[in-house]
Chain A
């Protein structure tokens, strides 16, 4: 078991972690603004087909990523109108968005089944990207670096910018933010659209990087894992990064264990893990005890100013 082996394994982990990290970062910002959007899976699927379709027509994966972001954001805006303008229940509307996203992506994808695009290649020259060892650093898809850069950027935005402060204020106490003149609705629209765009980019990682094709429901539940991860990370970006890679490592370990013939835990256990984690995370949200202390105070509540 040499260094090559380790590098190849790490590259697999990066592939498993990146889409969850992208979608998780988006959802973290949405939740920081006080909105719980359970439609991540649906937005990822819309992003996956939008990115793929745009790449098929333009032959340019960069336009594809923009298309994926636009697709995810558009899908999220449907949710935004319902929960912000009409004050519909956020949990129910988010679930509806997932169902809608699954359906509409299948519909959009009808004429794209069975087609392929060129995989989203590395931005670095082959001397670096294909180098025996340096590929560990330079051999990834541009979206991997984008995701990693977005982690400190999001932290900086939330902690050190005025806009980030307003966004957090809206999420912690929407009525106070409203009373000193901030537009709660506008801030939340922006946050939801950002979350949709990030979920869309996360989705197109599947359809343009890992397996450059379109298949119905190809995200296979990763959106739910991203959602659970935001809660586990305690709404902190650094922990979200750790969590996403932890998940990637866990999943890769399962595959390596199986392929090497180890059976220390039944495979059904591994298969149930992501769902079990989601259940635990959702109970954290609803309990709001000490574990949920970090949660934005207005998370999931409709904004109802008295005037």
Chain B
């Protein structure tokens, strides 16, 4: 493992030059696999989970493969020199782990046809560019089930970042699952226009609590909201990773992103020469989405329900996006018994009935 950190002291300075300077001579006989990360690996969320996946490659294929990563890469043109640099250092496979790297990945892939690229959560592919994603909303359905059963007010808060399909899917899955337990359940949504702003996340959580929410779930990356819930003696869920260390009493469970198996599988395919461009959207069945251990505050009957949802996703008998589904205005969007197709889920931009939102 070679660490190239642009974070320390020199943020924003010429990334490519620095990355080159910072990398020591590498063992030439190993195949190199590169990663670019949006945040710091210590964010205890999104990037942290991707880095765990990278470590899984080290653990399983460390004798044949060397991994390199660059953290804090902005989702703009500055990602291009970073990608070129990784390719020039000899990386044969490069994972670009955020939606905003989509066009940069495709562009650099065009310049290095011998290098394979894997772009996370995007939709643009090429002969040497694959895409992969995770069905986070399956985890949201489990959280919604728990919240719907445990909320005494029937009003739940959802703290999100932006109105993008991933968040809309999460909100809808959470609300629909909660309504299965409590048909009158209402989900109040606040989008704070940031993935990471602890003071604003905290203030938004206080606001939702003041408006009557007794459970707040987060779709932003910091554990701040859980700490507010802890101080108020209420409950919530971790996002991206088990956050129980930050709020031992408030933390009921969490959605964990598990990227390791996919990263190992794709690296093996590269070594075998069987790598081909593909589009992967895995979920609980494949082990990409996992639910962290339940806290002592989750009653046994609620655990049984939540486990039922998980089991249903694993054997294919459960899908939260099964009709009838109504939108916020009460229009029937999915007919009784129909299941929304993956293609429709990927571009969803409307909220289900019972979601109270500003847009």
Contact = CB atoms under 8 A, between A and B. Distances in A.
A163 interface: no
A110 interface: yes
A111 to B, nearest CB: 10
Nearest to A111: B42
Given A258-B358, A267-B359, A102 B11 contact: yes
Interface stretch (A5-13, A58-66, A182-190, A228-236): A5-13
Given A107-B9, A113-B44, A259 B207 contact: yes
Contact of A216 (B42, B191, B204, B231): B42
Interface in B162-198: 188-194, 196-198
A62 to B, nearest CB: 20
Nearest to A113: B42
Given A8-B206, A262-B358, A251 B9 contact: no
A263 interface: yes
Interface in A239-272: 251-252, 255-263, 266-268, 270-271
B40 A211 contact: no
B227 interface: yes
Nearest to B7: A106
Nearest to A222: B199
Given A11-B206, A103-B8, A261-B357, A213 B199 contact: no
A211 B199 contact: yes
A53 B78 CA distance: 33
Contacts of B43: 113, 215-216
Contacts of A15: 199, 202-203, 206
B206 A211 contact: no
A263 B8 contact: no
Contacts of A100: 9
B235 to A, nearest CB: 17
How extensive is the interface on chain A, given as a class?
Answer: 35 or more
Contact of A220 (B157, B198, B210, B211): B198
Contacts, number: 144
A216 B200 CA distance: 15
B207 A252 contact: yes
Nearest to B193: A271
A110 B206 contact: no
Interface in B32-76: 39-40, 42-44
A124 to B, nearest CB: 16
Contacts of B196: 215, 217, 220
B232 to A, nearest CB: 10
B350 interface: no
B260 interface: no
A103 B72 CA distance: 11
A261 B356 contact: yes
A143 to B, nearest CB: 14
Interface of A is mostly: helix
Interface string B91-122: 00000000000000000000000000000000
B267 interface: no
Interface residues of B, number: 46
> Which residue of B198, B202, B357 has the most chain A CB atoms within 10 A of its CB atom?
B198
A255 B199 contact: no
Nearest to B248: A116
A68 to B, nearest CB: 16
Given A220-B198, A255-B190, A267-B193, A260 B211 contact: yes
Contacts of B227: 116, 119, 211-213
Nearest to B357: A261
A259 B40 contact: no
A258 B203 contact: no
Contacts of B210: 5, 8-9, 12
Interface in A91-146: 99-100, 102-104, 106-107, 109-110, 113-116, 119
A46 B63 CA distance: 40
Contacts of A222: 199
A206 B198 contact: yes
Given A11-B206, A251-B200, A259 B42 contact: no
Contact of A263 (B10, B188, B359): B359
Contacts of A107: 7-9
Contacts of B197: 220
B258 interface: no
Given A211-B222, A271-B193, A99 B11 contact: yes
Contacts of B11: 99, 102-103
A257 B359 CA distance: 11
A271 to B, nearest CB: 4
A220 B200 contact: yes
A116 B249 CA distance: 13
A106 B71 CA distance: 12
Given A261-B357, A263-B359, A19 B199 contact: yes
Contacts of A110: 42
Contact of B359 (A9, A256, A266): A266
A280 interface: no
Interface in A40-88: none
A259 B12 contact: no
Contacts of A261: 188, 356-358
Interface of A: 5, 8-9, 11-12, 15-16, 19, 99-100, 102-104, 106-107, 109-110, 113-116, 119, 206, 210-213, 215-220, 222, 251-252, 255-263, 266-268, 270-271
Given A107-B8, A116-B245, A211-B202, 6 more contacts: A12-B203, A211-B224, A211-B228, A259-B188, A259-B356, A271-B193
Listed from nearest, the 4 A-B pairs whose CB atoms lie closest are A271-B193, A211-B224, A113-B42, A103-B9
